Amino acid sequence: MAPASGTHPLDPLSKDEIGEAGAILRAGGRISDAARFVSIALKEPPKAAVQTFPDGPAPDREAFVVLREPRQRATYEAVVSLTRGTVAVWRHVPDAQPALTEAEFLACEEAVRADPRWQAALRRRGVVDFSLTVVDSWTVGCEGPADERRGRRLVHALTFVRTGPHDNPYARPVEGLRALVDLDGMAVLDVTDEGGPPLPPYAGNYATGLIARDDNWTAVTGPGPALRPIAITQPEGPSFTVDGHAVSWYKWRLRLGFTPREGLVLHRVGFVDAGRERPVLYRASLSEIFTPYADPGLVHRHKAAFDEGEYGAGFVVNSLEPGCDCLGEIRYLDVDVHDDHGAPVTLPRAICLHEEDVGVGWKHTDLRTGEVETRRQRRLVVSSFAVLGNYQYGYFWHFYLDGTIEFQVKLTGMVSTGAAGPDTAPRFGTLLAPGLYAPNHQHFFNVRLDMSVDGEKNAVHEVDAERLPPGEDNPEGGAWIARRTLLASETAAQRLACPATGRFWLITNPTVRNRLGEPVAYKLVPGTTALPQVHQGSSAHRRAAFAFKHLWVTAYDPGQLFAAGDYPNQHPGDGLPVYAAADRPLDGADLVVWYTFGDHHVVRPEDWPVMPVTTVGFQLKPFGFFDGNPALDVPPPRTHCSEGERRGSTQ
């Protein structure tokens, strides 16, 4: 199948292309009827081919496919040329366990429900209506190369019991019960029942119409006082345009991509300056999420999820709703993924674009003349929401008028829960309601930033405040400098944030100078973060070593896309430590910045029954990239400012 006319080399696969990739593989007789399609995504062409398009020849459209053959207990990768209708690459990947699929998740629940050992455990707890049970699949981790379970595709199945058909299952976890399931054979291998406290008594509902019930542990009895509407109108329409997957807003230019594993991807982000589009990022995506739990009990101690590599964040995006997820003049993009059989599936309204007024952008009052100049700040918001089990993660990319790029993750949804005995203070978590608690845990997000600051020859410097010793050069003791340290190689470029010294990192282009003669740069500004509390040397430490450094920098390699490696599921450890072991030079190189930030979550009672949004993230801010304030030419407000305040403006 020839690519559609007008297709850009970085456009995600269309539903027709997804279907064609599966058909080509089946026609070649390489896969069985039982094969599970784990991922079908665009195999991105080489940078050189993208950068010469459309003047140069269009590169082949290729699909990268990951499949699981359950009867063989084997994982395969394929590269399918959609342009030529052929399978360009076919290979077996030994010992690789790809992400769980939706069909496996649902089939696992049915297999556990049918197991007589599990049924007996539920009856011992007084549960006889198994239709009210919910079974969640959690990946098992890896206990090391000697783990006798290697080769099997395994999950731990945890059980919850609803009060009624529409009630919140996480309000009533079954403590002390865990099933081990082989997904290839869809067989329950073992059921462990250590016993435990009774089911928590309250329903824990949060939806309108259910929260007022007497058995719902909440002080809320119904809708709160009325809130008057907030109307966000743009009578002349939004200031951005969307042409296929290309987005233009103010001076920003970018392309939107999407993969089943990562979800939302940004390509070729640039800023138009003096009529020239200057690149900042070639590609940006969330490469992995790691969520370790602190409770050593039977049900919880294996919880250390890699939400992208073990589950796939792109398959579970919400269809966003006007007035709920985005406000104002909105543009939505649908995305195409696939089911276990390789058939295309369209997820409507998966990506939202809108503008937000975010207050004053810059302001100055001349005290002598009384003249006031004020400009409003505005940002373009590109967002998506992933539903990863009990948690929901909102991914928000913000582009500001002053050249700043911001990435935020908004955490909400449901905390993972456990049952506690009467009058028991949980040691490893917080009591939420009688008999119900939530374990302490952490969330770590790694963003892969393929930098292109005014070109591909970049370098990274660490910048710290350094106090000068008292003396002739520092008579009052208040002098300090901003000390820059070049991170010259991959071994040197493994760093921690340091709020005490105001640490940030400069991504420079040593071959391009601004009007002051300094290399142009963007700075990465850390936000609130943390470090994992798991012990070094533990399985979780080996598997999520990327999270133990906030910053990694590696030389560009198109095959190195994920901080925890290609297949973290049941893998003893891969990813950034392996990539950086080559210790490649970084000064003036085509490089990738990997930044990890986290949320240290000691759960509050206020996080139940549904968690208010917590926001974590970081910023990329221009630092000598421009010759002055790039928002200086933002037009003054046309309305709302008083005539007195606008006196002296150029309006």
- Tens digit of pLDDT for each residue in 489-529? 999 999 999 999 999 999 999 999 999 999 999 999 999 99
Q: What is the pLDDT of residue 213?
A: 62
For 516-637, where are the E strands, in sequence order? 519-526, 551-555, 591-601, 611-622
Same domain, 143 and 279: no
- Give the CATH number of the domain where residue 260 resides: 2.70.98.20
Instruction: Identify the band that residue 36 occupies on the pLDDT scale cut at 50, 70 and 90.
Output: very high
Three-state secondary-structure class, residue 104: helix
Check residues 280 and 147 and name the one with the higher pLDDT: 280
Is the pLDDT reported for residue 650 higher than 50? Answer: no
First to last CA, the chain: 55
Question: Is residue 25 packed enough to be buried (19+ CB in 10 Å), middle (13-18) or exposed (0-12)?
Answer: buried
Both tokens assigned to 439: 């374990």
Which residue would you say has higher pLDDT here, 334 or 644? 334
Query: Does 344 fall in a domain?
Result: yes
How many other C-beta atoms lie within 10 A of the C-beta of residue 243? 10
What is the domain count for the chain? Answer: 3
Q: What is the pLDDT of residue 230?
A: 87
Question: How far is the CA of 432 from the CAs of 70, 207, 224, 302, 370, in angstroms?
Answer: 41, 18, 22, 22, 56
Structure token digits, residue 535:
């012990």
Q: How many CA atoms lie within 13 A of 588 on its CB side?
A: 3
Q: What pLDDT, on a 0 to 100 scale, did the predictor assign at position 180?
A: 97
Strands 246-249 and 252-259: antiparallel
Q: Is residue 384 in a domain?
A: yes
State the residue for tokens 């340290």: 485
pLDDT in tens, 2-22: 445 468 999 999 999 999 999
Position 380 in a domain: yes
Whether residues 400 and 529 share a domain: the answer is: yes
Contact (CB, 8 A) for 315 and 102: yes
Same domain membership, residue 377 and residue 253: yes
What is d(CA 532, CA 627) in angstroms, rounded to the nearest whole number? 40
Note the pLDDT tens digit of each residue in 262-275: 999 999 999 999 99
Please state, for a pLDDT cut of 70, what percent of the chain lies above it.
94
pLDDT at 221 over 50: yes
Q: Which of 67-76, 106-115, 528-537 has the lowest mean pLDDT?
A: 528-537
pTM of this structure? 0.95
Query: 351 and 260, same structural domain?
Result: yes
Among the listed residues 76, 391, 393, 437, the single catalytic one is 391
- Strand pairing report for 441-451 and 436-439: unpaired
| Containing structural domain, residue 127 | 102-193
Instruction: Judge whether 257 and 12 are in contact, CB under 8 Å.
Output: yes
Whole-angstrom distance, CA of residue 146 vs CA of residue 495:
32
Q: What's the pLDDT score for residue 147? A: 55
CB atoms within 10 A of CB 648: 12
Identify the weakest region by mean pLDDT among 207-216, 295-304, 426-435, 444-453.
Answer: 207-216
Say what the alpha-carbon torsion angle 275, 279, 283, 287 is, to the nearest 10 degrees: -120
Query: Looking at the predicted structure, is the pLDDT value of residue 647 above 80?
Result: no
| Span 281-292, average pLDDT | 98
CA 159, distance to chain mean position in Å, is 27
Tell me what pLDDT residue 71 has: 96
Instruction: Report the alpha-carbon distance of residue 232 to residue 593 in Å, rounded.
Output: 37
Mean pLDDT (whole number) for 365-389: 94
pLDDT at 123: 97
Q: Looking at residue 645, what is its pLDDT?
A: 46
For 430-467, write each residue's pLDDT tens digit: 999 999 999 999 999 999 999 999 999 999 999 999 99
CA 482 to chain CA centroid, Å, is: 32
**For residue 148, is pLDDT > 80?**
no
**129: in domain:** yes
pLDDT confidence band for 644 (50 / 70 / 90): very low
> Is the pLDDT reported for residue 427 higher than 70?
yes
**446 and 564: one domain?**
yes
Mean pLDDT of 406-425: 94
Rounded to 5 degrees, what angle do the CA atoms 49, 51, 56 make?
55
Categorise residue 166: left if φ over 0, alpha if ψ from -120 to 50, beta otherwise. alpha
What gap in Å lies between CA 201 and CA 192, rounded to an integer?
23
Q: Are 386 and 263 in contact (CB under 8 A)?
A: yes
pLDDT at 294: 97
> 498 and 396, same structural domain?
yes
> Residue 404 contacts by C-beta under 8 Å, 6 or more apart in sequence?
398, 619, 620, 621, 622
pLDDT higher than 80, residue 131: yes
Nearest residue to 67 (alpha-carbon basis) of 12, 6, 26: 26
Residues 111 and 25 in one domain: no
CATH code (residue 45) = 3.10.450.40
Q: What is the mean pLDDT of residues 152-162?
A: 96
Residue 203 lies in a domain: no
Q: Is the residue at 294 inside a domain?
A: no
Average pLDDT along the chain: 93
State the sign of the Cα–Cα–Cα–Cα dihedral 319, 320, 322, 328.
negative
Confidence of residue 222 (pLDDT cuts 50, 70, 90): low
In the set 307, 340, 574, 599, the catalytic residue is 307
Q: Say which range, 340-344, 424-428, 611-615, has the weakest mean pLDDT.
A: 424-428
pLDDT in the model for residue 646: 44
Closest CA to 263 of 389, 351, 392, 137: 351
Q: Which of 129, 158, 193 is the last residue of a domain?
A: 193
Residue 638 DSSP one-character state:
S
In a domain, 43, yes or no: yes
Q: Using 50, 70 and 90 to split pLDDT, how confident is the model at 173? A: very high
Cβ neighbours, 10 Å, residue 88: 14
646: enclosing H helix or E strand: helix 643-646
Q: Contact at 8 Å (CB) between 8 and 53?
A: yes
Spatial neighbors of 61 by CB under 8 A, at least 6 apart, are 3, 7, 9, 13, 17, 42, 81, 82, 83
Residue 219 — pLDDT band, cuts 50, 70, 90?
A: low
Residues 261 and 378 in one domain: yes
The verdict on whether 391 is a catalytic residue reads: yes
Q: What's the average model confidence in pLDDT over 575-598?
A: 98
Same domain, 158 and 42: no
Averaged pLDDT for residues 67-93: 97
Q: In percent, how much of the chain has pLDDT > 90? A: 85
At 389 the pLDDT is 87
Q: Both 85 and 137 in a single domain?
A: no
pLDDT for res 149: 64
pLDDT at residue 594 above 70? yes
Q: What is the pLDDT of residue 572?
A: 93
Same domain, 537 and 497: yes
Cβ–Cβ contacts within 10 Å for residue 636, how many?
Answer: 14
Q: Has residue 296 been placed in a domain?
A: no
Q: Is the pLDDT of residue 356 over 80?
A: yes
Distinct helix (H) and strand (E) counts, the chain: 7, 31
Active site residue 147: no
pLDDT at 344 over 60: yes
pLDDT of residue 214: 61
Judge if the upstream peptide bond of residue 609 is cis by omega within 30 degrees of 0.
yes
Which residue in 102, 188, 34 sits closest to 388, CA to CA? 102
At 640 the pLDDT is 54
> How far apart (Å, rounded) are the C-alpha atoms in residues 338 and 10?
19
Rounded mean pLDDT, 87-107: 96
- Residues 447 and 328 occupy one common structural domain: yes
The three-state DSSP-derived secondary structure of 350-398 is: EEEEEEEEEEEEEEEECCCCCCEEEEEEEEEEEEEEEEECCEEEEEEEE
